[in-house]
A = this chain, B = another copy of it.
Amino acid sequence: MDDHLIEHPMVWQDRLPEAYKEAGPRIVETESGQQLWQYEDRRSSNIGLNAVAGKDPTQYGVDPIRYDQMIPGCYEPEERLKDMDIDGVYSGLCFPTFPRFAGTTFNEGVDKKLALLCSQAYNDFMIDEWSAIDPVRLPPLVVLPFWDVEASVAEVYRTAAKGAKAITFPENPVPLGHPSFHSDHWEPLWNAIEETDLPLCLHFGTSREIPTTAPDAPEAVFISLMGTNSMKAMADLCFSPVFHRHPNLKVSLSEGGIGWIPYLLERMDDTWEKHRFYQAINQEVKPSELFRRNIWGCFITDDVGLALRHDIGLDRITWECDYPHSDSHWPNSRKMVEESFIDIPDEDVRAIVETNAAKLFKLKV
């Protein structure tokens, strides 16, 4: 479960109080014809990060710079449903683009009152507008004003009451200037999320850490390595107190891939067996047991992971489309899935492409 939407120009202008509209996110057009988001005194580098659905791979590498360079399914929910029909995809959890995948754009906002209003406006857009046309096929995924734990707790309850189905959160808050998963800082938030039973989606890259190797390395290096961010999030959480204190918390490693999971489970357990005695980590429960209770993996294509599905745990795996990004196979997702799953029994396929996600996100399909 991982897709993306491009926010239409009026998402914030329609919702912010009059006094905040000027500083809040709005679309400006440059002399060269590029459309950009203006937020406070900063401009986004582009509006359509990697929104290349429908393009040939030989055309990749240049992000769209205007809405009319994207297919409408990127930003119109009715059109999105049609594109999902073409692709044979029933339901897709959509991550934000201008706010970034976990709302970290607002973490950088100078006026934190405005930043809170922007997060809330995005969530209202998500629930009242984007998902409203079909909350099962486009389940509402909300952002948090995570720089303020108290405000985040309030937003969890507010959006849960309005029908939110999941929360997107940074895979690691430390590079964003906040305390780690090992601190007590987030306790009130984990309590609220556990109580409302909303899965936390940690999309890879939301820590803003790019696993690059060198200034002159081609992008293919970090693209190949993005899953190491999810590996870090998994090890970080499994050696933290979070799941011990919150046994019902659910974490989905969005777009992280799954083929590395058995390796990391073994490596974490080996590390725990040998190195737990001198460290402030739980001495009773193996990290792999936490994974099998609290974490879900998510992939687009991962034949290695599919072959290892029973080592991962069949119930831990969900499939994603990643529309409209370049990693997506739209409009050929169903064809790709058919090829990729050709040797997998029907009941396993059904768990991976449908029932696991339906259960995790409580979607009545």
Our pick among B61, B240, B259, B271 for the contact of A223 (Cβ within 8 Å) is B271
Chain A 265-288 per-residue mask, 1 if CB under 8 angstroms from chain B, else 0:
011101111111111110000010
Q: Is the CB of A270 within 8 A of B301?
A: yes
A345 contacts partner chain B, Cβ-Cβ < 8 Å: no
Q: Is the CB of B270 within 8 A of A60?
A: no
Chain A 302-340 per-residue mask, 1 if CB under 8 angstroms from chain B, else 0:
111100100100000000000000110000000000000
Q: Which B residues are in CB contact (< 8 Å) with A213?
A: 172, 174, 180-181, 232-233, 235-236
Q: Is the CB of A232 within 8 A of B223?
A: no
Q: Is the CB of B172 within 8 A of A214?
A: yes
Q: Is the CB of A257 within 8 A of B263?
A: yes
Chain A 46-66 per-residue mask, 1 if CB under 8 angstroms from chain B, else 0:
000000000001111110000
CB-CB contacts below 8 Å: A204-218 with B: 211, 213-218
Given the contacts A211-B232, A225-B232, A304-B266, A272 and B239 also touching, CB distance less than 8 Å: no
Min CB distance A263 to B, Å, is 3
Q: Which B residues are in CB contact (< 8 Å) with A279?
A: 61, 218-220
Q: Is the CB of B224 within 8 A of A264?
A: yes
Given the contacts A227-B267, A231-B225, A232-B225, A277 and B57 also touching, CB distance less than 8 Å: yes
Q: Is the CB of A278 within 8 A of B180?
A: no
Q: Is the CB of A326 within 8 A of B274?
A: yes
Our pick among B180, B224, B260 for the contact of A214 (Cβ within 8 Å) is B180
The complex places the Cα of A227 from the Cα of B268 at a distance, in Å, of 11
Q: Which B residues are in CB contact (< 8 Å) with A59?
A: 277
Our pick among B60, B223, B259, B267 for the contact of A224 (Cβ within 8 Å) is B267
Quick one: which of A58, A217, A257, A311 has the most chain B CB within 10 A? A217
Given A227-B263, A259-B262, A266-B303, 5 more A-B residue pairs with CB atoms under 8 Å apart are A174-B214, A218-B280, A225-B235, A259-B260, A304-B311
* Closest CB pairs A-B (n = 9): A61-B278, A259-B263, A180-B214, A213-B236, A262-B304, A218-B279, A174-B214, A228-B228, A224-B235
26 A/B residue pairs, CB under 8 Å, sorted by A: A57-B273, A60-B278, A61-B279, A180-B213, A181-B213, A181-B214, A182-B214, A182-B216, A182-B217, A213-B235, A213-B236, A217-B236, A218-B239, A218-B280, A220-B235, A220-B268, A220-B279, A223-B271, A259-B263, A260-B263, A260-B264, A262-B304, A266-B303, A270-B301, A304-B311, A308-B308
